[in-house]
Amino acid sequence: MRAGDPLEPMNRVIFTFNGVVDKAILVPAAKTYRGVTPKPARDGIHNFLNNLRSPVILINDVLQGEWSRAGDTLTRFAINSTVGVGGLVDVAKRQGIKRHKEDFGQTMAVAGITPGPYLVLPLLGPSNFRDAIGRIPDQFFSPLHYVNYNGQNTVTDVRRVVNVLDKRERSLKAVKKLRRNSLDRYASYRDLYRQKRKQKISNKELDVQALPEFDISKK
Amino acid sequence: MTYALPKLIIAFIVTFVLLFPIRAMADTRAETLIETQAASALAILANPDLSQTQKTTQFNEKIEQLAAVNIIARFVLGPYAKTASPAELAEFTNVFHDYALSIYQSELGKYGKETLKVQKSVDRKPGDSIVFTQLSGGALKAPSLVKWRVLNINGEAHVVDIEVGGIWLTQHQRAEITAIIDKNNGAISAAIDSLCAKSHKCGDAKRLAKS
């Protein structure tokens, strides 16, 4: 097995497909979004989307027994939904209560469930078996999931589309730099995903003993 | 019994004297390296009086002193470092050298006007420390945390990895390079070619060799 990625041939095909979609649709859409929306409005939308995600983060904080972080999430949600005009302004951040992210994939990791093989999901990008499964309960943790209009989840669908635009617009520069510097883009994304996930699961606490050894016998 | 207690105290003092300074020195050496050398490398990039060429030259010289590039080159080859021939290893190290310098410049180049402050350091084991630093001020909206892995190599402290934005750069390079070699059935030449494609210097050398 190469680098814990037994599905690499299939993953690479999906990765290429995602790249084509990104280039043909997402990048032009993100650039248009940037062009027609002033920065303060984009920041407001970003804050609003983050605020909408708070219930999902809160439930996962609680499931992980992270009471202090759950308190932060709840306080942030209360402050930003009210004083922050429905979440458009991140007032809580200005008060020193920083946002953190949690999802059910992280909750499963904290419970000791291993990630399983690396997986590239169509349109959604890098993941693994555990985190891909974790996406399902997270949907049910969001109150928006239960908001129906004419029997359809229109609100959730609109949120998803705007969320994709927001994420892609914010990563335009970083992805461009990654494309310029990376030697193997697929391997690069895979490693970035793994390192970032490890960091999120440990709540940014560094386990120094888990760092790899360097051979210093020959200089 | 009356002699046992003083002996125990002496043993404790000897152990303390022998062990504690070594641990403290390891931390201090690593912290000093980052506080002085890393900060001055960043200062070069921020110096408005230097041309881009001067910045690159001076920054590269500083990184050569700061980082153990040969050790990093062997690390990024992963298991293939053991199977590589001396000639392959030498060629790879040479090409990787330029690539690593350009990556460090690209990653650290966004800093410069910021102030680097050492927060703390943790010893992973004797001679292997992680120095936690905070960059603040300059163009940064919020302080940025950068971690430096410092090894004691033949009595000298050298950086072997940097964590920026949650990503350890050397580990990331290893993931990419071993993936290329894996994909090419263990051929280290494939990694050399990929690095060459990213390095102007290497490209020039190859063009010269062909002409």
Condensed to tens digits (0 to 9), the pLDDT of residues A8-45 reads 999 999 999 999 999 999 999 999 999 999 999 999 99
- Can you give the residue range of the structural domain that contains A136? 8-201
Q: Is the pLDDT of residue A3 over 80?
A: no
Q: Identify whether A206 is part of a domain.
A: no
**Predicted pLDDT at B10:** 57
Q: How far is A71 from chain B, CA to nearest CA, in Å?
A: 23
Higher pLDDT, A163 or B103: A163
Question: How many C-beta atoms lie closer than 10 Å to residue B163's C-beta?
Answer: 22
A119 is a domain residue: yes
The closest alpha carbon to A34, from A157, A160, A166, belongs to A166
Q: Does A177 touch chain B (CB under 8 A)?
A: yes
CB pairs under 8 A between A and B: 82
Quick check: A219 and B178 CB within 8 A? no
Tell me how many domains chain A contains.
Answer: 1
* Rounded Cα distance, B199 and B88, in Å: 18
Backbone angles phi, psi at B14, to 5 degrees: -60, -45
**Contact by Cβ (8 Å): B68, B159:** yes
Write down the pTM of the prediction.
Answer: 0.85
Task: For residue A216, tell me if it sits in a domain.
Answer: no
Residue A88, classed as helix, strand or coil, is coil
Residue A135 lies in a domain: yes
Phi, psi values for residue B149, rounded to 5°: -95, 120
CA gap A14, A9 in Å, rounded: 9
- The separation between CA B92 and the C-alpha centre of its own chain, rounded to angstroms, equals 17
Average pLDDT over residues B108-118: 77
Do residue A177 and residue B106 have CB atoms under 8 angstroms apart? yes
Across the interface, of B153, B154, B166, the residue whose CB is closest to A199 is B166
B36: its two tokens: 């002085």
- pLDDT value, residue B192: 93
d(CA A73, CA A97): 9
CB contact (8 A) between residue B177 and residue A215: no
Selecting from A192, A206, A218 the residue whose C-beta is nearest the C-beta of B167 gives A192
Q: Which residues of B touch A208 (CB under 8 A)?
A: 122, 124, 130
pLDDT at B22: 42
Which comes out higher in pLDDT, residue B27 or A120?
Answer: A120
What kind and span of H or E run contains B150?
strand B144-153
Q: Looking at CA atoms only, how far is residue B173 from chain A in angstroms?
A: 8
Best CATH choice for the domain B4-210 from the list 3.10.450.710, 1.25.40.20, 3.40.50.150, 1.20.1260.10: 3.10.450.710
Task: Find the helix or strand (DSSP H, E) in which B63 lies.
Answer: helix B52-66
- With 60 as the cut, is the pLDDT of residue B58 above it? yes
Contact between B63 and B191 under an 8 Å Cβ cutoff? The reply is no
pLDDT for B67-88, tens place per residue?
898 999 999 999 999 988 999 9
Minimal-distance CA residue of chain B relative to A98? B142
pLDDT tens per residue, range A36-91: 999 999 999 999 999 999 999 999 999 999 999 999 999 999 999 999 999 999 99
Judged against a pLDDT cut of 50, whether residue B21 lies above it is answered with: no
Which residues on A lie below 8 Å from B182 (Cβ)?
A: 2-3
Rounded CA gap, B76 and B65, in Å?
A: 19
SS3 A91: helix
- A217 lies in some domain: no
* Contacts with A195 from chain B: Cβ below 8 Å: 166-168, 171-172
pLDDT for B6: 60
Res B43: pLDDT: 83
What distance in Å separates the CA atoms of residue B58 and residue A14, rounded to the nearest whole number? 43
Q: For chain B, what are the domain ranges?
A: 4-210
Q: Does A3 contact B175 at a Cβ distance shorter than 8 Å?
A: yes
C-beta atoms of A191 and B198 within 8 A = no
Task: Enter the tokens of residue A209.
Answer: 């003993």
Query: Which phi-psi region, left, alpha or beta, contains residue A112 (left: φ > 0; alpha: ψ -120 to 50)?
Result: left
Of residues A177, A187, A199, nearest to B179 (C-beta): A187
Tell me the nearest-neighbour CA distance from B32 into chain A, angstroms. Answer: 20
pLDDT digits 0-9 by tens, B120-178: 999 999 999 999 999 888 777 788 899 999 999 888 899 999 998 889 999 999 999 99
| B100 within 8 A of B72, measured Cβ to Cβ | yes
Residue A58 located in a structural domain: yes
Q: Is the pLDDT of residue B16 over 50?
A: no
Is B205 exposed, middle or buried, given 0-12, 13-18 or 19+ CB atoms closer than 10 A?
middle
- Candidates B176, B181, B188, B196, partner chain A, best to mutate (most A CBs within 10 A): B176
DSSP code of residue B138 = T
The single-letter code of the amino acid at B184 is N
Complex ipTM value: 0.87
End-to-end CA distance of chain B: 86
Q: Do A212 and B198 count as a contact with CB atoms less than 8 A apart?
A: no
Q: Judge whether A171 lies within some domain.
A: yes
Q: B20: which residues sit within 8 A by CB, 6+ positions away? A: none
B102-107 mean pLDDT: 77
In the predicted model, what is the mean pLDDT of chain B?
81
In A, residues 2-21, which contact B (CB 8 Å cutoff)?
2-3
Q: H or E element: which one contains B65?
A: helix B52-66
Q: Do A208 and B103 touch (CB under 8 A)?
A: no
Q: Is residue A47 part of a domain?
A: yes
- Using one digit for the tens of pLDDT, what is the confidence trace for A202-219? 988 888 888 999 988 876
Asked if the Cβ–Cβ distance from B172 to A188 is below 8 Å, we say yes
Q: State mean pLDDT over B56-63.
A: 85
Q: Give the tens place of pLDDT for each residue, A137-190.
A: 999 998 888 887 777 778 888 889 999 999 999 999 889 888 888 899 999 999
Amino acid B200: pLDDT: 64
Among A118-127, B1-10, B62-71, B81-90, the range of highest mean pLDDT: A118-127
